[in-house]
Amino acid sequence: MEYNFDKIINRAGTHSLKWDFCEKLTGEKEILPMWIADMDFEAPEPVVEAIRKWTEHGIFGYTERSDTYYDAVIQWMKKRHDWEVHKEWITFTPGVVPSINIAVQAFSQPGDKVILQPPVYYPFMSAVLNNGRRVVNNNLRIEEGRFLMDYEALKNSIDEKTRMIILCSPHNPVGRVWTKDELETLARICLDHDIIMVSDEIHSDLVMKQYSHTPLATLSEEVEKAVVTCTAPNKTFNLAGL
């Protein structure tokens, strides 16, 4: 199926957070809103058609997640990332940010420390602080114009109160697609210190052809047992409003 990525769609007046809210906030119409991950492409026709069929049915009562839901997730992960996901691994949540909050609550206690790697998506910090945990910033470093994880600083930041690290993979906002070697080094440090890894992989499908996303949980069975992976179709197909 071919898609026209040159088609211009006027989103004004659609209550778009990206466009309408930006104008209300700034009072300017000519500002380009580059502050939110919201594409201006139409959703794929199979998605639109599925929604159309649902609306034509006319009843929007309570539903459950069907086998086709789980099959879609499993087949997508296998096709895109060569990751064998089992149905019993999949847990539905309202979104990645709620998932991160739930993970913080489930795997740490108030006063525990959670490692972040700034500059990073700001709700990570909120998920830690709003739940009474403490943020430990292990800042990314820049080497020859490229952002890298600082492993030595990471090891030095860990103490007996460190319970978790929240990873952004690929990283938002710096755009790094972490290599397998980089992830293996990170995972080894976390395993050695009994640290749970929460991996936000919502941008994993938006990777240029010369790069390859490695799901953190695929590194080994040992790593798999210490990882919570957060995914969603929002960024891939621009479905955040659903």
pLDDT at 210: 94
Residue 32 scores a pLDDT above 90: no
pLDDT digits (tens, 9 = 90+) for 33-63: 888 889 999 999 999 999 999 999 999 999 9
pLDDT digits (tens, 9 = 90+) for 155-212: 999 999 999 999 999 999 999 999 999 999 999 999 999 999 999 999 999 999 999 9
Q: Are 33 and 26 in contact (CB under 8 A)?
A: no
Write down all domains in the chain, each with its CATH number in brackets: 1-42 (no CATH), 67-237 (3.40.640.10)
pLDDT at 35: 80
pLDDT at 27: 85
Q: Are 119 and 140 in contact (CB under 8 A)?
A: yes
